[in-house]
Structure 1
Amino acid sequence: MPPARPVGAVRTARRSRKPGSARPIVFAVAALVVLGGVGVGVISSLGDELAPEDPQAAPEPSAEPVDPTQSAEETANAFVEALRSADADALAEMLGGAAAPDPALFTDDVLAKMLERHPMTRESIAAVGIADAAGGQVVDISYLLGDAEISYTIDVDTTAPDPTGAIDIDLPSLTFDGGYGDLDVSVNGVAVTTGSGDMYPVLPGVYDLATSADHLRLEGEPIVATSGFAYAYTHEHDPLLTGEGLAEFRSRVRASAEECLASTALDASCGLSVTGGLQGGSSLVDGTIERTIDDDSWAAIDALEPTPSAGDPLVMRDGFFSAEVVFIGDWTGPSGSGRDQIYGGPSLVGPSVDFGDPDLPVTWGY
């Protein structure tokens, strides 16, 4: 038999094991309590930050800076496109107050006729240098209108929110010298006054002169206006007769010459009057005068080449024409009477026709 254990030893041993096994349980419970409190605090804090009652505003994207060069070229391109479309209203909106073309020559019709006769090609738009402190950017513009090269600069306000009033330009002025007198003159189909010093600010372009006068046309090249003064000189755009007008001139002159030469009076109406007195005391008999010119002179009348007179472009004259006239008439005097050739009489010269008069009257002489 094994020896018996003391009762006190057994109890002491059991008590010594209970505290050792109980501490881990107490510590674990405490840890859970602590962690639970921290978790509640973290969740509460996160909940406060993410509460829908206090949302965070989304940051606005920053605007990209506008390139003045690009802005100016876009405005210039819009200007050229409006011109290509013959849109006078759109062009007017883009121009600043200082740039004001004459209203008569700044219409859709005027621009359309220009582009119809002189189509736009080979456009070029390029900013020059950099914008100044006020945002003004110079832009070079060039294009062809037909065969005419148009080149000029504009100043674009790059600070403007849109092209309205953003363009400044030195407009050319279509200028007349007053040499057309009462002749009706039109520019690209619009009637204008042409007195000395009459000026019309216009867009850079090509402008055709014409006249509505019957039997007449204006000679010369179209006026290319790009800057400064574009002069419509009369001597560069002479009024000339149309083919129908030239035929009318020659016909009227021939009829006048025939009527004049047929007169037997001393006082003829075409500059062929003769005096009645002759040397030696004799005198011509009125009503007996015969006037004739040769066949070459008649052929010259049928080939007349008139030009505008210096004082009035509506009066067409051939100042080079001269035909010798043979005079024959009856005379009477102290020594008797007879019929003979008369020498020293005037020539038939300088016929002119006034195309400003509906009756187209003919006059003779220089």
Structure 2
Amino acid sequence: MDRTASGEDVVLALHTYEAAAKERLPGPVWDFFAGGSGTESMLTAGRDALDRIRLRPRCLVDVSRCDPGTELLGARLAAPLGIAPMAYHRLAHPEGEVATARAAGDAGALLTVSMFASRTLEDIAAAATGPLWLQLYWLRRRDLMADLIRRAEAAGFRALVLTVDAPRVAFRPRDAANGFAVPSGIRAVNLAAEVMAASHGSRAGESAIARHSAEQFDSSVTWDDLAWLHEVSSLPLVLKGVLTGDDARLAVEHGVSGLVVSNHGGRQLDFARSAPDCLTEVVDAVAGGCRVVLDGGIRYGADIAKALCLGADAVMIGRPALWGLAHSGTEGVTGVLRLLMGEFEEVMALMGAPTVADFGRSGIATP
């Protein structure tokens, strides 16, 4: 934390928000947010991949005016940046997703709302001035999914995001060690209480989140089932968790409008290829047939530039938004987003890339 000449506190780096969140949150909640699956090898994989990439700037380009704005599935964004879906924002701040939505709107960023949000879709939409997408897991009860989709459409959500890398929740040692369960005062308010009951029962050596997923997630879903989502809703469908060109091509064949290349925050398949390492394979496979977003390890404005050079249309952040939320609610999340956007705009100028369209593979070097 630094201070301006007037004595006001100003945050100059994301790690300040991270440190504050770790200090303020209860240990089991911090572990739930920060932990990974298995050996937790994937927690740093995305960051390591991005750090290996170096930028190749161009000189003597007119960068007197840089425009970081872009469009994504019909929504205009102030920068190619959004917030990934994460459950139970009220674990970080009493206002939960309402504070996050307000911040995303203030910054001109996209917000993807988890089906396990701790505020109603309607309250979140009322607070939002920016675009909203709704994230889904495939539940055994399709009637509950259909109801959520109808409510999201009525509230003005602009796309559906189906998480496809979690037919079951992977073993997460920190949550198991803590016997983690969602506190009774916080719940996924958009789903019936009886459907979410297993997520609230703490047992030693076991994660209630994993127990709930085993009970409620439908692990028999295949590509053919996407037809049902297209029937239920006319909203664009985005798949989150695609890491191979093979699946990317299948997604386009099945009418998907977007892909989020993601390792689920390092919380699903251990020892997988990192999302940044998979990005060009996915981009090449879709060949412009759908939009591509990178989610994984984004911590600096330069990471946005690297993702665009690799072919992504935008990036998403996860944990940093929760750090900002725990730090100071709406103000903290807005600060996180604007910090990244400001860094990105500077990189645009120093790269000789005055618009998002000016980024391409010639702008990076990899080992």
Q: TM-score, normalised by structure 2?
A: 0.19
Larger radius of gyration: 1
Q: Which has the higher helix share?
A: 2
Q: Which has the higher strand share?
A: 1
